[in-house]
Structure 1
Amino acid sequence: MATDLVRKYRLLFAVPGFRLSAVAALTAKLQPGMYAVSLLALGSHHLDYGGATLVVAAASFGAMTTPLRGRLLDRYSYAAVLWPLLALHLGTLLLFVAAARAHAGLTALFCLSVLAAVSLPPIGTLTRVMWRKAVPGDLRTTALALDSVLADFGFMIGPVAAVALARSITPDAALLVCGLLVSVAVPLGLRGTGARAPKEAPAREHWAGPLRSAALRRVFSVAFCFFLGVNVMEVSLASYGRKGEVTLAGGALLSLIALASMAGGALLGGLPARAAQRLMHPTVPLGGNAVCLLLLAVASFVHPFLVPLACLPVGFCLGPCFASVYGTAADHAGKGEEAETQSWVAGAMMAGGALGAAVGGWSLAHGGLAGALLLASAAWAAGAVCGARVPRLSPAVEGPRVASEASAE
C-alpha cells in the first residue's frame, strides 16, 4: 500500500508542468486560509469588532460571484481573464489598506471588501480544471486527493500565519501577504500543467449553464450539505469544554481533525483504481462521516478521553469528501462548462458554510455539544442521500494513460 501511494504521487509529479501547478495550488490554498483573519485583524484595528466582522461578511458576499469568474475562464483564454482580475484585486487591496490607515468609515471598507472578493482570481478552480485535462486518467483521483490535502494544509496554517503577521509586524501585513500569494499563484498557474492547452469554447446550450443539469444540481446540493455539516461541527468543537467561548482544547481537536483529513485525502490518492472509484462517489464518504460524527457525539457523553480518539475517523473521512464532491462535479460537467461547474461547487460550499456557522451557534446554545454534532451528522446524511441520486459515471479517459505499473490495479 505504501509503495503504491509513493509510486502514484511520484508519477503525478512527473507530469510535465505539474510541479509548478502544484506550487500555484498551494499558494492559492494558503490565501483563503489567511484572508478572513487578515481582514478581521486590520478591520478591528480601525473599527469596532462588530464592524470588522461586517467587513469579513462583505468578502463572503463578493465570493458568491465565483461562478461568473468560472464562466469567464471557460469562454476566454486563462491569461486574458486572470491578469486583469489580478490587477484589479491588488489595486483594491491597496486601496483597502490605504482607506483603513486613513480611518475611512465602515461603508467604504465594506464596498472595497466586496470588490476585492469579486476580483479575486479563481486559481483553485483553474488548477482543478487544468489537472483534469492534463493529468492521465489513472492519476485524476490522486490529483484531486492532493488538492484536498493542500486545502486542509492552507486552512490549518493560514489563520495562524495571518495572526502572527498582524501581531508581530503591522495589522495590514497579513492582508498584503495575501496579495503577494495571489501574485505568485497567477503566473505559476499560467505556466503550469495544461495552462497552454488550446481553448475550446463551444456555443453554450443554455444561459443557465451547469444549473440546467439535474445531476449537477444534486451535486451542488451535496456540496451545500457537506459544508453545512463542516461548519456546524467546527463551531461546536471550537468551544469544547466551555460553551460560548473558544478554547485551546477546541482548537486542538479541530487541528487533530485537519491532520486526519490530510492523511485521509493523501491515502485516497494511493488506493487501487476500483477502491478509489467507489470512494469517489459522494454517498460513501459523506455517509461514513455521518456515522463517525454520531460516534463522536456518543463519545462526548461517555468520557472526555474518547473525544480525541473519535475525532480521528471524522477527519479521516473529510479529505475523501472534498475529492469526491469536486470529482463527481467534474465527471458531470458539460464541455466548455468545466470551470463554471467547479465554481458552483465552491459557491454551494460557501453558502452551506455560512448557514452552518449561524445554525451551529444556535444548536450549541440550545442542544449542547451532542445536539450540535447530531445536527452536523444529519446534514452529512442528507448530503449522502442527495449523492445517492447522482448517476455513477465512468468518464472516458482524456489523453494517454500512465505506464502500466500505475494502472495495474
Structure 2
Amino acid sequence: MASTVTPRPARRPEARRPGYGQLLRTPGAWTFLLPGFAARQPFGMLTLSLVLLVQHTTGSYGAAGAVAAVTGTSMALAAPLAGRLTDRYGQRAVLVPSVLAHAAAAALLLVLALSHAPLWALFAVAVPTGATVPQIGPMVRARWSVALRDSPLASTAAAFESVTDEFTFVIGPLLATALCTAVTPAAGLVAEATLTLVGGLLFAASRRTQPPVDRAAGSRGRRASALRVPGVRVLVVAFLGVGCVFGGMQVSLAAFTEAIDRPGLNGVLYGIFAAGNMLSGLACGAIAWRVAPRHRLLTGYAALALAASALWAADSVLLLAALGLVVGVCVAPVIVTGFTLVGDMVLGARTEAFTWLSGAVALGQAAAATVAGQFEDRLWDGAGFLVPMIGVLLALVTLLAARSRLHPSPDLSPRPSPVGTGSVRPVA
C-alpha cells in the first residue's frame, strides 16, 4: 500500500535586526553623528584630564580628585535640567550657549591650575565647567527618532547609541591620558574644550534633523519628571555604581603606574579595559536578546561586582591588565541594558530620563575619583581599587532589593510627549 507523506511546511526565515551598515546610510545621519561624537567627549575626557592636570600642579591625587568631583557633581546635577529645557525649547536654543560657556569655563580653569591658584578658586570655576557640559547623547537619540520614526531601524539606532556611549566612556580617557602624558598635562583639557566647542556648534548647525519643539506641552504647564518613576530611581543608583568603576579605575591606574615608575603604562592598561568594554558593547548591541532586560541587568551587575572585587588584590601589571579586561567586558552589558529598561519605563520626557542616567555616571565617577585619590594619598598603593568594589557592591544590593520595580510602569510614567521631544527606546 502506497504511503502518503505529508510535506513539511516551509520554514520561515528568521527575522533579523537591520544591521549597523544600513542604519548609517540613513539620509542626514552623518550630519549629526560626527559632530555629536566629538561633542560627547567631555563625558570621557573631562574628569581624567582634570585629575592629571591638577595632580601635576599640586602633587596631590586627593586635591585632583576633589576638583574633578566638583566638576562631575555639577555636571550630574545640571544634566536633568538641561534635558527638560531641551524638551521644552529645542536643542539649538540650549546647546549653543552651553558649549560657549563650557569652553570659556574650561579655559579659565586651565589658567588657574597652571598659575597654581588656591584650591578654592579651582573649585569655584569647576562648578560652571561641569554644569555647562552639553547633553549630546540624549539629543542624538532624539534626532534618530525623527529620522526613523516607525522604521524597523529604530531599534538598531537605539543599540548603536548605547554602543556609542560606551565608546565615549572608554575612548575619552584614553585620549586624555595620551595627551597629558605624551604632550603636556594641560593638553587633555585643551582638547576636551576644543572638541566640545567645535563639535557642539556643528551639531547645533544641523537644523534639518533637529526634533520639533512641543510648544503646546510647554504652554500647558510643568511636565512630570522622569524621576517620579520608581524604576528610574533604581537605575540611577545602578549607574552611580558604574560611574564608580570609571572614576576609581582612572585614578587608581594612574597611581599604580606612577608607583612602579612606569606612568606610560597607564594608557596601555586603560586601553585594555577599554577594549573589553567596547567589544562587549558591540556584541550587546548586535544580539537580538531573548532574555528579559531586568534579568540581564541583574546578572550583568553581579558579574561586574565579582570582577571589580578582585581589582584591589592585583600586584602585577599582567594581573591588573587581565582583571581590567574582565571588568571592561562586564561594564558594557550593564549600561546597554540600563538604557533599554529606562526606555521601557518612561513614556515621555525621555531626554530628561537619559540625562538622569548619564548624570548618575558622571556623579559616581566624580565621587569615586575623589575617594580613590584620598585612598591613594592616605592608605597603601593600590587602595584606590577598593572604590569600584565598594560602589558596585552597594549598587548591587540596591538592585536586588528593588528588582521588582524594574518593570515597565505606564501608570507611573510621565505623560507621553510627541515624537522628537524625547528619545527612541534603546534595545539591547
TM-score band w.r.t. shorter chain: 0.7 to 0.9
Label 1:79 to 1:347 Cα distance change in 2 as closer, same or farther (>3 A): same
- 1:265 corresponds in structure 2 to 281
Contact 1:58 1:110 (8 Å CA) reproduced: yes
Aligned-pair distance for 1:70?
Answer: 1.4
Partner of residue 171 from structure 2, selected from 148, 154, 157: 157
TM-aligned CA deviation for residue 181 of structure 1: 0.4
CA pair 34-283 structure 1, distance change in 2 beyond 3 A = same
Secondary structure of the 1:121 match is coil
Contact 2:65 2:370 in 1 (8 A): no
Given candidates 339, 343, 362, the residue that maps to 2:351 is: 339
Give distance in 1, aligned partners of 2:183 and 2:310.
44
* Structure 1 residue aligned with 2:362: 350
Alignment of 1:208-247 (within 5 A): 209-228=225-244
**Is 2:36 the counterpart of 1:25?**
yes
Letter of the structure 2 residue corresponding to residue 58 of structure 1: V
* 1:92 maps onto 2:98 in alignment: no
Is 1:389 matched up with 2:400? no
Counterpart in the other structure of 2:48: 37
Q: Give the number of the structure whose alpha-carbon radius of gyration is greater.
A: 2
Tell me which residue corresponds to 1:13.
Answer: 24
Go from structure 1 to structure 2 and tell me whether the alpha carbon gap of 1:74 and 1:387 turns closer, same or farther (over 3 Å shift).
farther
Q: State the one-letter code of the partner of 2:41.
A: L
Q: Aligned residues, how many?
A: 390
Q: Give the secondary structure class of the aligned counterpart of 2:211.
A: coil
CA distance, structure 2, for counterparts of residue 193 and residue 262 of structure 1: 31
Stretch of structure 1 that moved more, 19-28 or 79-88: 19-28
Partner in structure 1 of residue 152 of structure 2: 138
Q: For residues 151-230 of structure 1, what are the structure 2 equivalents within 5 Å? A: 151-190=165-204, 195-201=209-215, 202-203=217-218, 209-228=225-244
| Distance of aligned partners of 1:313 and 1:10 in 2 relative to their CA distance in 1, 3 Å threshold | same
Question: Deviation of residue 13 (structure 1)?
Answer: 0.5
Contact kept, 8 Å, 1:223 with 1:345, in 2: the verdict is yes
**Whole-Å Cα distance in 2 between the matches of residues 288 and 127 of structure 1?**
26
Query: Contact 1:282/1:384 (CA < 8 Å) preserved in 2?
Result: no
Matched to 1:118, the amino acid is A
CA deviation digits over 1:193-245, x for unaligned, max 9? 97423211514775761222223223323323444466567777888899999
Question: 1:160 deviation in Å?
Answer: 3.8
**Identity between Structure 1 and Structure 2 (%):** 26
Which residue in the other structure is 2:95 paired with? 82
CA contact (8 A) 1:144 1:323 kept: no
Q: Match for residue 85 of structure 2?
A: 72
The amino acid that maps onto 2:33 is: A
> Aligned partners of 1:301 and 1:357: how far apart in 2?
19
CA contact (8 A) 1:145 1:319 kept: no
Q: Hey, what's the Cα distance between the residues in 1 that align with 2:201 and 2:285?
A: 27
Deviation for aligned residue 1:172: 3.2
**8 Å CA contact retained: 1:147, 1:323:** no
Query: Match of 1:378, as an amino acid?
Result: L
Letter in 1 for 2:355: S
User: Quick one: which of 393, 398, 421 aligns to 1:378?
Assistant: 393
Query: Could you list the runs of 5+ residues in structure 2 that have no partner in the other structure?
Result: 1-14, 420-428
Partners of 2:384 and 2:182 in 1: CA distance? 35
Relative to total residues, which structure has the larger helix share, 1 or 2? 1
Match status 1:112 vs 2:128: no
- Matching residue of 1:406: none
Report if the CA contact (8 A) 1:282-1:328 is conserved.
yes
1:154 shift after superposition = 3.4
2:210 is paired with a residue whose SS is coil
Whether 1:58 aligns to 2:73 is no
Q: CA deviation at 1:35?
A: 1.8
Segments of structure 1 that go 5 or more residues without pairing to the other structure are 400-409
Read off the aligned partner of 1:186 and give its amino acid letter. Answer: G
User: Counterparts of 1:32 and 1:370 in 2: how far apart (Å)?
Assistant: 21
8 Å contact kept, 2:256–2:381: no
Tell whether the 8 Å contact from 2:74 to 2:127 is kept in structure 1 after alignment.
yes
**2:3: which partner in 1?**
none
Tell me the distance in 2 between the aligned counterparts of 1:97 and 1:129: 33
Deviation at 1:340, TM superposition (A): 1.6
In 1, Cα distance between equivalents of 2:279 and 2:36: 18
CA positional deviation for 1:170: 4.6
Q: CA deviation at 1:295?
A: 6.8
Q: Partner residue of 2:338?
A: 325
What's the C-alpha RMSD, in Å, of the aligned pairs?
4.4
The change in CA–CA distance for 1:38 and 1:371 in structure 2 (over 3 A counts) is closer
Taking structure 1 as the reference length, the TM-score comes to 0.75
TM-score (normalizing by structure 2): 0.72
| Partners of 1:268 and 1:14 in 2: CA distance | 21
Cα gap change, 1:240 to 1:132, in 2 (>3 Å): farther
Write the deviation string for residues 320-366 of structure 1: whole angstroms up to 9, x where unpaired.
Answer: 2212212322333343x222211111222233344555677879979
C-alpha spacing 1:92/1:353, structure 2 compared with 1 (3 Å): closer
Q: Partner of 1:35: helix, strand, or coil? A: helix
Match of 1:403 in 2: none
Distance of 1:300 and 1:107 partners within structure 2: 32
Distance in 2 between residues matched to 1:177 and 1:306, nearest whole Å: 32
